[in-house]
Amino acid sequence: PALACFSDFTEMMRALGYPRLISMENFQTPNFMLVSEVLLWLVRRYEPQTDIAPDVETEQDRVFFIKAVAQFMATKAHIKLNTKKLYQADGHAVKELLKVTSMLYGAMNTKGVERADVNEEDSSKFKFDLGSKIADLKAARQLASEITSKGANLYDLLGKEVELREARTESIARPLEINEAEKVIKIAVDCVLEQVKKTKDMLNNVALDEANLEAKIEKRKLELERSQKRLQTLQSVRPAFMDEYEKIEEQLQKQYSSYLEKFRNLTYMEQLLDDHHRAEQEMFEEAANMLRLTQKRLKEEERRLLKSGNNDDSDVEIQEDEGSDSEAEDRQIVKHNTAMETLLQG
């Protein structure tokens, strides 16, 4: 299934007009640069006027890029992408890329057989026309929202038409009085003159504020020039303690070199001492094991000699009827001692 998915992806990308050839070896190891390039190409193929930044140099930029692409596809194309698999940039990312490519490939197939015979000039014209159509679509959406709001206001006003109709009819039927109209016009003229006066005062205040700001800017420029001159003077003057500082710095460098050499020697000697202790410990354990084996072997030899000595004593007692128990015991002890001396010599 993975091979079939990958083959479908490569065929769809080739049919969509991707300029590079994509092989299966490109996704054997994580290849984030190729995945980001394909994603950006697909997004721009879907909407040429997108403003997603192509920076993927740092880890933070890559995370922002993946989030922006996933959010764009979710809001514009209603396609949910797995950001973790896209960030892996391996074979798992191909399945997520296939969602976008299959959508674009299906949209391309709906145009009919004539789509296959379009040359490069026609494709460029198609892209240009698509951008203009998208701009028209945005304008249409804005007009639709305005129409909706205007329709709601018109509905509210039409609901008040029953009450307003009577007032309008009454006002039209009433005779026009010149004095009252003149009074209303004078009031309107006075309001307009007051607004003009306020506007002039505001313009005068703006001019005064502009003059104050220019004076402050000039003052700041003079202070900046003085500060720059003082900085240049301070940079050109050599401090009095600079010679002593350089001498102390040289001495510190020498002391640091000596410290490094002594520290390396001390570390080397400690390592030699640890190796020596380890060798002594191994020799001691080996000697203890040899001593333990020797003791075990001596005990076995002693046990064997004791058994052979007891057998010899029983034979002597059977053959010699005239012997006392003390003499038999003495002979047994002498034989045992002789056997022990022989074993020790061996």
Buried b (16+ CB within 10 A) or exposed e, 137-167: eeeeeeeeeeeeeeeeeeeeeeeeeeeeeee
**Higher-confidence position of 325 and 214:** 214
Q: How far is residue 187's CA from residue 262's CA, in Å, rounded to a whole number?
A: 100
Q: How far is residue 340's CA from residue 168's CA, in Å, rounded to a whole number?
A: 146
Asked whether the beta carbons of 98 and 5 are under 8 A apart, the reply is: yes
Would you kindly state where each structural domain of the chain is located, as residue ranges?
A: 1-110, 177-249
Torsion angle in degrees (nearest 10) through CA of 16, 19, 25, 27: -60
Asked whether the beta carbons of 127 and 44 are under 8 A apart, the reply is: no
pLDDT (tens digit, 9 = 90+) per residue, 120-158? 444 444 444 555 677 788 888 888 888 988 888 888 888
Q: Which of 50, 45, 23 is nearest to 34 (CA)?
A: 23
pLDDT (tens digit, 9 = 90+) per residue, 14-52? 887 888 777 777 777 887 888 888 888 888 888 877 777
pLDDT band at residue 258, thresholds of 50, 70 and 90? Answer: very high
**Confidence (pLDDT) at 130:** 55
**Confidence (pLDDT) at 91:** 76
Please, which residues have CB within 8 angstroms of residue 279's CB and are 6 or more apart in sequence?
Answer: none
Asked whether the beta carbons of 94 and 35 are under 8 A apart, the reply is: no
Q: How many CA atoms lie within 13 A of 297 on its CB side?
A: 9
**Confidence (pLDDT) at 284:** 94
> Is the pLDDT confidence value at 279 over 90?
yes
Classified by CATH at the fold level, domain 1-110 comes out as Actin-binding Protein, T-fimbrin; domain 1 (1.10.418)
> Is the pLDDT confidence value at 332 over 60?
no
| Mean pLDDT confidence for 218-231 | 93
